[in-house]
Amino acid sequence: MTKEQAIARAEKLRAEILENSRLYYELDAPKITDYEYDMMFRELTELEEQYPDIRTPDSPTVRVGGRALDKFEKYTHNVRMGSLTDVFSYEELEDFISGITEQNGKDTEYSVEPKIDGLSVSLTYRDGVFVKGATRGDGLVGEDVTENLKTVKSVPLRLKENIASLTVRGEVYMPKRVFEELNEAREAAGQPLFANPRNAAAGSLRQLDPKIAASRRLEILVFNLQEGRLYPDGRECKTHSESLERLTELGFVTVPERTVCRGYEAVSEHIKYLGEARDTLAFDMDGAVVKVNGLSDRVRIGEGSSTPKWAVAYKYPPEEKETKLLSVDIQVGRTGVLTPTANLLPVRLAGTTVSRATLHNAQFIAERDIRIGDTVVVRKAGEIIPEILRSLPEKRSGAETPFSMPELCPSCGARVVRDESGDGAATRCTNPACPAQTARSITHFASKGAMNIDGLGPQVVALLLEAGKIKDIADLYTLSVEDIEGLDRMGRKSAENLVSAIEDSKSRGLERLLFALGVRQVGEIAAEEIARKFRTLDALFEAGREDFLAVKDIGEVTASALVEFFSAPETRELCARLSDSGVKTEAVGEARGSLFEGLTFVLTGTLPTMTREVASELIKKNGGKVSGSVSKKTSFVVAGDEAGSKLTKARELSVPVLTEAELLEKLSAN
């Protein structure tokens, strides 16, 4: 085939692939089989590989992903990608509409749309061709993720008409079906599971390798015109709904299940409809958006300091579902605590299928009279962790059975006792050599907040224990490549990587080591405070109860746990082996500044220029504390892109919210 013939054939293939993609993704009416589509795609790929210069910027082959990037460049939005005011009740919604009616009249139209739970992005087109895609970031500056967005098949690479300049806003999401398949594959491969489709979408879109993004099968729904004129002759749309219809004509997949209506009754009815339809939609939604439809009306109503006055986001209360409690398993934790876990009849809840939920302890079960066989009400705490709220005794048949904690540990058979420390609600195994405790202790030791040994997850720990390669954490530092390769799914390269990661962990310092050792009551923050005070592991062995009580925020229970731990002969022997292996047992943290002394920060969302780990270190080095949850004691919340429930709670509690830039400004002022 000559080059001229290749050009002609490639143009024909591109047109056919584009049309069949439209039939599949927009109309759900494919006319050819997947095999026929794949064969056309392969032929086009081979032609472009033979003649690289005939590949066009909007060729469908760019969707498979190009070369990996070193980093994402920053991108400044021409039009701010703002956020909306949240309302959490129909009373607040009615107040919003009453205010609009008073200012703009009772005939004001509203567009009511689902609020897709994904990652907000902008798409920019020049002369009808997609040229730039960026994340929202802080609304003013985001990240250039153009190459990854090209892999999203519902992003049109070329519009159906030649529009000179156009920028739209949409929400990238992972379809529920794809999310379930992805997690099944990750579970089979021994990889950590994604918490929900929104996290999976955000993580996928921010992969430096576009091929990985392409494999995640993301989609996009466009919901707003940011800038530009939608008609080649310069005409402008008069309403938001008209602009969405026009965007659909140009080839975008726009937000579905939307309606235009007038008045509070009609608006609230559609919000209720969307709430009831959540399970039937391909995407997760975390609310409904109510916008004044008329574009000139929006100008008249105006903007607030940070959000428009003509729109709100109605946030649904945490989703609750009824299901059956089928049985109860007992998990043995790294400190020997027995935790009952409910096995449920699978139910779709807040974006995932839930089949298990924690029951906390025997006291929790007794207080709620939860029985095996009960119909129970479940929800996700913080939209993440499944929990049982209550049982429904009125739905009992009489076949339900009360639950009681076992008298013997299900892992090792040793006697269990009621732990009288703390609130006395825990049941604990008395055998320090319990296999379940050992496995979880080693997994904790290797976890990100502890020694951060990449690749040493629960499955690999189990393999090493079963093969007799390790018996405790100190044995990790004796492992060789030959010890590891040959284990299930562990080849030479994986073994080399794991040994290298174990070696790297030796330099983490006393702060991480103390947390990794798993002393009861000692979390990451407490471990840092203790390490900063005592500086060496030897000093901890010499310390007494009063010495520990002198450390900031260390109370009676924690001090007693520390004395008990460091007075045990087995602790001294274990730590000596770690030290002999080259594990650093001195503190590595720098002296702290006092700028943030006494202040507590919570980080949420994706920050524009640094990871949350880096931001946490900056705060700690300046005397501040970093917490994982928002409360009235929180001093500041630092919010990045797509901040979620923590930002919402901060606003409810009137906790000051900082951007990354404002945090850095406080630091630079010091």
Catalytically annotated residues: 115
* Spatial distance between the Cα atoms of 96 and 92, rounded to a whole number of angstroms: 6
User: What 3-state DSSP class applies to 50?
Assistant: helix
Q: What is the DSSP letter of 563?
A: H
DSSP secondary structure, 326-393, as one string:
EEEEEEE-TTSBEEEEEEEEEEEETTEEEEEEE---HHHHHHTT-EET-EEEEEEETTTEEEEEEE-G
Tell me how far apart the alpha carbons of residues 203 and 218 are, in angstroms, rounded to a whole number: 11
Q: How many CB atoms sit inside 10 A of residue 117's CB? A: 23
CA–CA distance, 416 with 407 (Å, rounded to integer): 6
**Type of residue found at 236:** E
Who contacts 429 (Cβ-Cβ below 8 Å, separation ≥6)? 332, 336, 338, 409, 411, 412, 414, 416, 436, 437
Sign of CA dihedral 443, 449, 451, 457: positive
Nearest CA among 125, 173, 177, 161 for reference residue 146:
125
Residue 242 to residue 338: CA distance in whole angstroms: 59
For residues 465 and 468, what is the distance between their CA atoms, to the nearest angstrom? 5
Instruction: Count the neighbouring beta carbons within 10 Å of the beta carbon of residue 231.
Output: 12
DSSP alpha helices (H): ranges in 197-252?
197-205, 210-215, 240-249
Are the C-beta atoms of 314 and 87 separated by less than 8 Å? yes
159 contact partners, CB below 8 Å, separation of at least 6: 125, 128, 129, 166, 250, 251
Q: Is 654 left (phi over 0), alpha (psi -120 to 50) or beta?
A: left
Q: CB under 8 Å to 532, separation ≥6 — which residues?
A: 511, 587, 589, 592
Pair 159, 251: CB distance under 8 Å: yes
Q: Give the separation between CA 469 and CA 320, rounded to whole angstroms.
A: 45
With contact defined as beta carbons under 8 Å apart, do 214 and 178 qualify? no
Of the candidates 180, 179, 186, 124, the one whose C-alpha atom is nearest the C-alpha of residue 156 is: 124
Measure the CA–CA gap between 474 and 574, rounded to whole angstroms: 7
The greatest distance separating any two alpha carbons of the chain, rounded to the nearest whole angstrom, comes to 86
Q: How far apart are CA 649 and CA 213, in angstroms?
A: 32
Of 251, 202, 177, the closest CA to residue 25 belongs to 251
Q: What is the DSSP string of 9-23?
A: HHHHHHHHHHHHHHH
Spell out the alpha helix ranges (H) of 447-509. Answer: 458-466, 481-484, 492-504
CA distance 24 to 17: 10
End-to-end CA distance of the chain: 68
Extended beta strands in 22-84, E state: 74-76
d(C-alpha 182, C-alpha 188), whole Å: 10
